Structure 1
Amino acid sequence: MTERAGSGVDDDHGWTERLAWAYGLIAPDPAERAAALDRLASARGEVESARLRVTKAWLPAPRLRFKARDRAAAQEAYDEAASRCLPEALWSRQPPGEINTWAGLPFALLFLEWEARYPQEWTQHAKAWGTKQSLIRKLATANHDDQVRTKLVDLVDLAVQRPYRCKDREYVRVARAVDGDELRGRLHRAHRSGNSWAQLHSGYVLWLLDHPEVPNTRHVWRTWLAGTRTC
């Protein structure tokens, strides 16, 4: 969708106006999360209705003739509905350049934090493994400000604390991009914890950080894991 000049819909204020409610998805209060999930369900319903209108505008019908302007209007209505829903907003308004200057960055981080903190709710209401993978890869860059770097360190820490979930392996890219004292301190604490998953995953990430030339492949993981079990 080409935005109207001067509309401001893709600046920070525009994203916040459309999606501020989504912060409830990562709230510690179950009632607040439930309210946000209700809002998400409503937004998803609007997206699906708009999608059907787009489909109808393009399908041949015996007694209906849709003009180009009708199709454009249906597509514009869909884009507007999608901009108010997750993860659809992250699909329909991709960053035009570097992700660190993208107005949608806070909501990309929110989407990943939701998956990290409340994986079952995320899976039930907004499962999108490809979106998770794409966002993590785009975020794996070193030129973030301190606030974003802190959030990325949090995400890596959350990922190593739990049993492996689809695309979690991508967080190694982020760990390498934001490597530093804070991240390594978190990983060492996880490695000393009583959480067996945290011990295993943090140990692997720390080893990869010390060996930046080694690719993070399944073969490397299995070889490293076999080595730890024979020590």
Structure 2
Amino acid sequence: MEFADPDVGAWVFDLIARDDLVRQRALRRHQELVARSLNALHWSNRVWMQAGTPAPQQPHLAAEMDQARADQRRHRGQTIFGYLDAFLDADPRDTATRAVYWPFVVPYLKWETRYPDEWRSPNSNLWSPWTRKEVVLGELGRRGVPEEMRPNAADLIITAIQRPYRCKDWMYALMVPHVADTEFHDRVTALTRAHDPFAQLRAQFIIDLVRHPERKITRKTWRRWLQRQDDA
């Protein structure tokens, strides 16, 4: 995949702007690019149906397929997904490239946090937003979080603890070992005294993960932890 130009993508940070006019302008731009990418995908599918194969042998259909796929890649690459893909597709050993594209992960996750309806709208997505969220959080859990971005990651975890559960939120726990410094521990400990009993329980769970960084975290870890609390 060709990496998107991070300078060109500066506008995606406006997707989380507090100014409604600024955010709506960025949202329209993103959704227009999504629509163009989908149109190109439909175009390539029509060529596929006409040729009876995804690799047409007829020169004119092969050329049309190449053009449709190029248009799809070009438009998708200009959305926020293009910058996320550049981060996800980079070699884990290529710290320079990952450092360039990691900042685009932050507005993507903050976009869901602040404006979930806009984030999950069909007009804003090329595929399931929950699948993309799962891939992003899974990658951060496996590969770690760049040091300069750990405060943002910590804030996202703290926010997830306090809000009503959203699909795939459990995967924020995967980042805990990568951000678990003294300040993070203190912030989570404060939430164990929150008014919301669910926030209290989640905070206690996160503290337990901080104490046991070797523990493998799966979607069942939370329920098993709750069962142990009931048994105790």
Moved more, 159-168 or 20-29: 20-29
TM-score relative to the length of structure 2:
0.80
Assess if the C-alpha contact under 8 Å between 1:26 and 1:33 holds in 2.
yes
Letter in 1 for 2:118: E
- Whether 2:64 is the aligned partner of 1:70: answer yes
Aligned to 1:20: 10
- Unaligned stretches of 5+ in structure 2? 53-57
Match in the other structure for 1:107: 104
Quote how far apart the aligned CAs of 1:71 are: 2.1
Matched-pair contact (CA < 8 Å) for 1:57–1:66: no
| Cα pair 1:83 1:93 within 8 Å, conserved | no
1:23-52 CA-partner distances (Å, limit 9, x unpaired): 121112233222222222211221122212
* Partner SS state of residue 60, structure 2: coil
What TM-score, normalized to structure 1?
0.80
Which structure has the higher relative contact order (CA within 8 Å, separation 6+)? Answer: 2
Q: Does the 8 A contact of 2:15 with 2:23 survive in 1?
A: yes
Deviation at 1:136, TM superposition (A): 1.0
Q: 2:118 aligns with which of 118, 121, 125?
A: 121
Deviation per CA, 1:199-226: give whole Å up to 9, x if none.
2211111112112343334544224324
Cα offset for 1:79? 0.5
- Correspondence list, 1:41-120, <5 A: 41-60=31-50, 66-87=60-81, 90-91=84-85, 94-98=88-92, 100=95, 101-102=97-98, 103-120=100-117
**Cα root mean square deviation, aligned:** 2.8
The residue number in structure 2 matching 1:37 is 27
Identify the range of structure 1 (89-98 vs 151-160) with the bigger mean alpha-carbon deviation.
89-98
Q: Greater helix share, 1 or 2?
A: 2
Q: Are the structure 2 counterparts of residues 171 and 120 from structure 1 closer, same or farther at C-alpha, using a change threshold of 3 Å? A: same
Aligned pair count reads 219
- Equivalent position of 2:55 in the other structure: none
**C-alpha separation between the residues in 2 aligned to 1:162 and 1:32?**
26
Identity within the alignment, %: 28
